[in-house]
Amino acid sequence: MPAISYQLYGSRNWPLPGTLAMLYETGFNEVEGYGALFAKAPTLTEDLATAGLKMPSLHYSLGDLQRDPDAAIELARAAGAEAVFAPYLDAKDRPTDRAGWEAFATRLVAAGKPLQEAGLIFGWHNHDFELVDLGGGVTPLDIIAEASPDLKLELDLGWVVRAGLNPVKVIQAYGNQIHSAHIKDLAPKGTCSDEDGWADVGYGVMDWASIHDALQKAGVARYVIEHDNPNDHHRFASRSLATVQSF
């Protein structure tokens, strides 16, 4: 069984120290950080130590990474992270054709080199916009993955399904280039509208038995539990952890 982590973005509407304590009491040992958190949590490393939690992976803005890779390396080392993932592109910054995505992939590979040279794993975290067909069945995520075997993927399975793709086939396509996976569930159509249509893991429509089997065959090292907008993060954390532990 891979390590199990929790993406702190889902708890952004609650105070961090209380969130970390709640997660530890719920049974988590690891969390994943995200960009905006680092700016507003100057005592993050101390808070993690107090709560008894580790942060082996984090999300870091590609623009910030390009401007100051040393800052990203310093943060990762302070947090004890082994992996850093660039997580998102604003709509205005997204390429619109194959050539644009090829240029972006080249940029991404170059941005990751300082981190890789410092001994860190570097990669990309997808949403649904990287999974559109650019023609001939090629997606932006295909182009990113093919840019370098050293560029790892953090595959967000919820967004894979939101993009209309089969998660098992996507996992099989990228194989051992997937370092970690975001374990995220979709609510049945027409439900959980107050939570943007996401569900606690195991309480939605995802076929976790087949997905878990594919992830294990791909050698995925870490499962990161996530919900983009829970109205009760303790309920989400406890129910989702129990589901993942039962895989």
Average pLDDT over residues 161-181: 97
pLDDT for 45-76, tens place per residue? 899 999 999 999 999 999 999 999 999 999 99
134 with 87: CB under 8 angstroms? no
56 with 81: CB under 8 angstroms? yes
pLDDT at 230: 97
pLDDT at 63: 93
Residue 7 carries which DSSP code? Answer: B
Beta sheet of 178-183, edge-to-edge order: 3-6, 222-225, 178-183, 152-156, 121-125, 83-86, 54-59, 30-33
- Burial, 193: exposed, middle or buried (Cβ in 10 Å; 0-12, 13-18, 19+)? exposed
Identify which has the larger pLDDT, 39 or 200. Answer: 200
Q: How confident is the model at residue 1 (pLDDT cuts 50, 70, 90)?
A: confident
pLDDT for 103-121, tens place per residue? 999 999 999 999 999 999 9
Domain containing residue 213: CATH number: 3.20.20.150
Q: How confident is the model at residue 156 (pLDDT cuts 50, 70, 90)?
A: very high
**Residue 25 CB-half CA count within 13 A:** 8
Domain span holding position 221: 3-245
Task: Judge whether residue 42 has pLDDT over 90.
Answer: no
Average pLDDT over residues 151-158: 98
**Number of folded domains in the chain?**
1
pTM of the model: 0.95
| Whole-angstrom distance, CA of residue 241 vs CA of residue 202 | 10
181 with 155: CB under 8 angstroms? yes
Q: How confident is the model at residue 91 (pLDDT cuts 50, 70, 90)?
A: very high
| Whole-angstrom distance, CA of residue 172 vs CA of residue 178 | 10
| Whole-angstrom distance, CA of residue 64 vs CA of residue 167 | 30
Average pLDDT over residues 214-235: 97
